[in-house]
Amino acid sequence: MFIQTESTPNPATLKFLPGKVVMDRGTADYRSAEEAGKASPLAAKLFGIPGVTGVFYGYDFITISKDGPDWQHLKPAVLGTIMEHFMSGAPILSGQNGGEPVSDEEFFEAGDETIVATIKELLESRVRPAVAQDGGDITFRGFRDGKVFLHMKGACAGCPSSTATLKHGIQNLLRHFVPEVREVEAV
């Protein structure tokens, strides 16, 4: 098994590509060992490596966030853990937990359904594929008073350039196609 790595715009995050599907639907984002708990045996093992602070699963990649040690020292342990897990044939997630947490409910005013549908379509077709290339994900959370609320995950969470991505990229795109959008904010 050969696992490729790619850098991301976030220097504290590295993208690992195992050459197979990681999650066939949705994404999963863990920010602590407690959060990963029994939900993901692989994430629990990865959090056992000193310096790992985040594990994010996309369709065909795993994004790891770190603090402390540089990637030169951390990368071999992460690669070994991912390879061992995939070679064992064990599942990425335990039980029925498969993807997006259900607790992140959307909010918007009655009458804004058409605007929200357009925003979601633009995010799905133009934004999410580009963000996934960088090892992250962005999901719609709400729309109120001209403001779009988005949840940033994986490499996007805590990335130094995420504000620029939100304000200059996503905000300009949405304002161009949906005049009702005034601004975009991360939640």
| CB distance 21 to 60 below 8 Å | yes
Strand partners of residue 140: 150
Q: What pLDDT was estimated at residue 125? A: 92
Domains in the chain with CATH codes: 4-88 (3.30.1370.70), 107-186 (3.30.300.130)
Cα angle 90, 49, 45; round to 5: 20
Q: What pLDDT was estimated at residue 61? A: 94
Q: What pLDDT was estimated at residue 156? A: 75
How do residues 98-127 score in pLDDT, each as one tens digit? 444 444 578 888 889 999 999 999 998 988
| DSSP string covering 45-107 | HHHTSTTEEEEEE-SS-EEEEE-SS-HHHHHHHHHHHHHHHHHHT--SS-TT--SS-TT---E
| pLDDT tier for residue 152 given thresholds of 50, 70 and 90 | confident
The yes-or-no verdict on residue 97 having pLDDT over 50 is: no
Strand partners of residue 136: 154
**Confidence (pTM):** 0.75
**What are the structure tokens assigned to 57, written together?**
């699963």
How do residues 9-45 score in pLDDT, each as one tens digit? 888 999 999 999 999 888 899 999 998 988 999 999 9
